[in-house]
Structure 1
Amino acid sequence: MSGLEQLVVVLAGLGAGVLSTTVGVASLLSFPVLLAVGLPPVVANVSNTIGLVPSGVGGGIGYREELRVHPRITAAVMVLTGMGGAAGAALLLALPPGVFEAVVPWLILGTCLLVGVQPRLSAWLAAQRGRGGREVHPRLRLSAMATGFVLLTGVYGGYFGAGAGVMMIATLALSLDIDLRVIAGIRTIALLASNLVAALVFVVVAEVDWLAVALLSVSSIVGGYVGARIARRLPAAVLRMLVVVAGVSASTVMLVG
């Protein structure tokens, strides 16, 4: 890479870090940049996954107060997404490139819809649980269905990950009765687990462009921290709107591309 291309990758890492911890579509920025500077698709995907691991570290530091609120939920989601990340990394190396191209944009659009209607849908679900005068207790544990969706999101995160943050927010917001900013923090640290496990697999068995990894790493950790500090100060409605806009934009880019 030329000096200018290296600068572009650094800036992409910074922007991807911010996007990762705010709206969850980091790879839609950094992955195309790696392709544009000449990396083959699988090498770019692998290098992107490894290079964005520090963004999750920065985001975890930025969300440290939110992550203390429900430590058991956070730990459970991290374990599930870590397991999924290993499976996703294996799929990336075993399947032909682009095998999910036709499905993923529509999946992201569907989860955007769920994020948008989540407050009303959650209120309706609570009303259904409270029918007959029964006391409604906050949902603070993952159901069997939610566990499955968290695991699948981890698989997708390890495979490619564009929009995985949107999917995770939709799953957790519909499954748990906790603050959206706390969910954003759990989302960030969970996808860190997915990316970290996938990165360990890639380091051992895949071809990696270590210059690209280094350039993304140094800036994405800063971007992840900055994005978390921005997101935790946003009203929940604004954060939800930004997640939906980012997810729709990501799916549109993937469909057009």
Structure 2
Amino acid sequence: MNLFDAVAVFAAGIAAGGINTVVGSGSLITFPTMVALGFPPVTANVSNNIGLVPGSVTGAYGYRDKLRGQRTRLLRLGAASVLGAALGSLLLLELPASAFDVIVPVLIVIALVLVIVQPRLQAYLRARERRQREHGGPGLWAGVFGAGVYGGYFGAAQGIVLIGLLGTALKEDLQRVNAAKNVLSALVNGTAAVVFISSWAIGRTGINWLAVLLIAAGSTIGGLLGAKVGQRIPSNVLRGVIVLVGLVALWRFLF
């Protein structure tokens, strides 16, 4: 990795950390950047996941005021996130690399669609006045588990999936939903990172540790910035950047 590559990965980490805190889908910045720089897709995905863990933690910390009163809920849903992430990361390691090359473009398309429809989704959630269970019930638990599997395998836009699930099932304002999303995303990324590092330790997984360190440093900064000022960025601008980078990733994979 030359100096230009290192700067690009670090900058992508800052952007991803901020985007993950505010919206979700930061991996649509870091993962395509690494692939474009020549990293093998699975190595890029694994290294990216590990590097984004500090940013997830700082983002969740930045929203700590919105987490008051959600401890019991997050303990229940956190178990679903951890179990789902463990399964998803194991699937990534056990399925052949060729399967990743086929599955990831589909996941990127799903992620991009979620990014594009997010404003309508949020408007729909704001307009809802249905009575929901305090912790969402078994349906939400199952949905969070599925989001964990998705996040452990690839992860882009898992935050948007979680916002949709939590906002639909819980009678909470979107700021508190977003705070809960940040905690669950951090659990997913952290669980997958443990699985990936354990696999690397026994020689089964490739990890580029320089990229991990650069993304970790960048995402930590981005997570803090996202929690403080990220919501001032025009959402349409942010959404446009994510979609553009995602389309570049699709082009890279398909052509």
TM tier, smaller: 0.7 to 0.9
Q: Indicate the residue corresponding to 2:36 in structure 1.
A: 36
Q: Say which SS state the counterpart of residue 219 (structure 2) adopts.
A: helix
CA contact (8 A) 1:18 1:227 kept: yes
Equivalent residue for 1:104, pick from 93, 99, 107: 107
Q: Indicate the residue corresponding to 1:129 in structure 2.
A: none
Q: Indicate the residue corresponding to 1:224 in structure 2.
A: 223
Q: Say which SS state the counterpart of residue 25 (structure 2) adopts.
A: coil
How far 1:68 sits from its partner (Å)?
Answer: 1.8
Q: Indicate the residue corresponding to 1:185 in structure 2.
A: 179
CA contact (8 A) 2:48 2:212 kept: yes
The within-5 A match list for 1:68-83 is 68-83=68-83
- Say whether 1:207 aligns with 2:206: yes
Classify 1:142/1:247 alpha carbon distance in 2 versus 1 (closer, same or farther; 3 Å): farther
In structure 1, distance between residues paired with 2:75 and 2:154? 23
Classify 1:32/1:123 alpha carbon distance in 2 versus 1 (closer, same or farther; 3 Å): closer
In structure 2, distance between residues paired with 1:172 and 1:94? 30
Q: Indicate the residue corresponding to 2:153 in structure 1.
A: 159
CA contact (8 A) 2:50 2:190 kept: yes
Aligned length: 243
How far 1:147 sits from its partner (Å)?
Answer: 1.3
- Say whether 1:149 aligns with 2:153: no
Q: Indicate the residue corresponding to 2:20 in structure 1.
A: 20
User: Could you say which structure has the larger radius of gyration?
Assistant: 1
Structure 2 regions of 5+ residues with no counterpart?
A: 200-204
In structure 1, distance between residues paired with 2:101 and 2:55? 25
Calculate the TM-score normalised by the size of structure 1: 0.83
Structure 1 regions of 5+ residues with no counterpart?
A: 127-136
CA contact (8 A) 2:91 2:153 kept: yes
The alignment's C-alpha RMSD in Å is: 2.7
Identity between Structure 1 and Structure 2 (%): 34
Q: Which amino acid aligns with 1:192?
A: A
